[in-house]
C-alpha cells in the first residue's frame, strides 16, 4: 500500500495555500461601495486598488452539510477617509453556523455584531485564535501598516448573508484617531 503525497499545502509563516483546486477572489475599492462611511473618499480612490484577497479550498460543493471549508484572507493596509480597509463582513446564511479565524501576520481587529446590533472588537495579532459563535456577524480590519493575513475554517453549508450588513452596517466602525485605532 502506498503512502500518498499531500495535494494541498498551507504555508505556516505566510498562510498561503498551494495545490490544485485552490480558489481565489479579490475585493477592490470598486467592489466595496456602501461599505465605508465616507462614500466620497471611497469614490476618490483608484477603483482597481486591491483592498483584500481571499484564497479558499472547498473540498465539497457549497451548501453540503457536514463538510468544512478552509481559507485565508489578506487585507492590504490603507484607509477610506479615516476608516481602515476591512472586509465586507457577513452573517452566515445559515445563521446557526460558527467559524474559526486565526491571525497569521500583521495587526488587525475582528469586529463581531450580534442580532441585537451589539458590536464588540478583538485584537488580531500573529497567533491569536478567534471563535465566531452562531448568529454573530464578523468583519476584519487591518489597523497596521503592512498586509494582515488570517486563516479561516467554516462549515460548508454556512453560506453568506452580505445583504444585512450592506443595508444596515455594523453599529461601530474602526477609524484612526491621533494615529491610533478607535472604535466609534
Ligand atoms: C467565510 C470567511 C472568510 C471571508 C473573508 C472575506 O465565511 O469568513 O473567508 O469570506 O474573510 O470577508 P467577506 O466578509 O468579504 O466574506
Ligand atoms: Zn464567515
Instruction: Name the residue with the closest Cα to ligand 1, atom 14.
Output: 89
Q: Does the residue 8 lie in any domain?
A: no
At residue 175 the predicted structure's pLDDT band, cuts being 50, 70 and 90, is very high
Ligand 1 centroid distance, CA of 108 (Å): 15
Q: Dump pLDDT digits (tens) for 54-70.
A: 999 999 999 999 999 99
28 by Cβ neighbours in 10 Å (0-12 / 13-18 / 19+) ranks as middle
Q: Within a domain: residue 182? A: no
Ligand with an atom nearest the CA of residue 166: 1
Residues 132-169 have pLDDT tens digits of: 999 999 999 999 999 999 999 999 999 999 999 999 99
Mean pLDDT of 105-120: 98
**13 domain residue, yes or no:** no
Closest protein CA for atom 8 of ligand 1:
152
The pLDDT of residue 118: 97
Q: Which residues form the domain of 110?
A: 21-176
Distance 99 CA to ligand 2 centre (A): 6
Is the Cβ atom of 99 under 6 angstroms away from ligand 1? yes
Assigned C-alpha cell, 54: 481571499
Whether 90 is covered by a domain: the verdict is yes
Count structural domains, the chain. 1
What does pTM read for this prediction? 0.97
Amino acid at each position: 500500500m502506498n503512502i500518498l503525497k499531500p495535494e494541498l499545502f498551507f504555508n505556516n509563516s505566510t498562510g498561503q495555500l498551494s495545490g490544485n483546486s485552490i480558489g481565489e477572489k479579490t475585493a477592490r475599492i470598486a467592489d466595496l461601495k456602501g461599505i465605508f462611511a465616507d462614500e466620497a473618499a471611497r469614490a476618490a480612490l483608484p477603483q482597481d486598488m486591491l483592498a483584500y484577497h481571499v484564497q479558499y479550498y472547498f473540498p465539497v460543493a457549497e451548501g453540503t452539510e457536514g463538510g468544512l471549508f478552509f481559507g485565508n484572507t489578506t487585507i492590504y493596509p490603507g484607509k477610506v477617509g479615516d476608516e481602515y480597509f476591512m472586509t465586507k463582513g457577513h452573517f452566515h446564511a445559515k445563521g446557526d453556523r460558527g467559524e474559526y479565524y486565526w491571525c497569521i501576520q500583521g495587526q488587525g481587529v475582528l469586529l463581531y455584531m450580534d442580532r441585537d446590533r451589539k458590536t464588540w472588537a478583538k485584537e488580531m495579532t500573529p497567533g491569536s485564535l478567534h471563535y465566531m459563535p452562531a448568529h454573530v456577524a464578523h468583519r476584519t480590519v487591518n489597523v497596521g501598516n503592512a498586509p494582515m493575513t488570517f486563516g479561516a475554517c467554516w462549515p460548508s453549508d454556512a453560506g453568506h448573508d452580505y445583504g444585512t450588513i450592506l443595508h444596515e452596517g455594523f453599529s461601530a466602525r474602526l477609524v484612526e484617531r491621533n494615529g491610533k485605532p478607535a472604535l466609534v
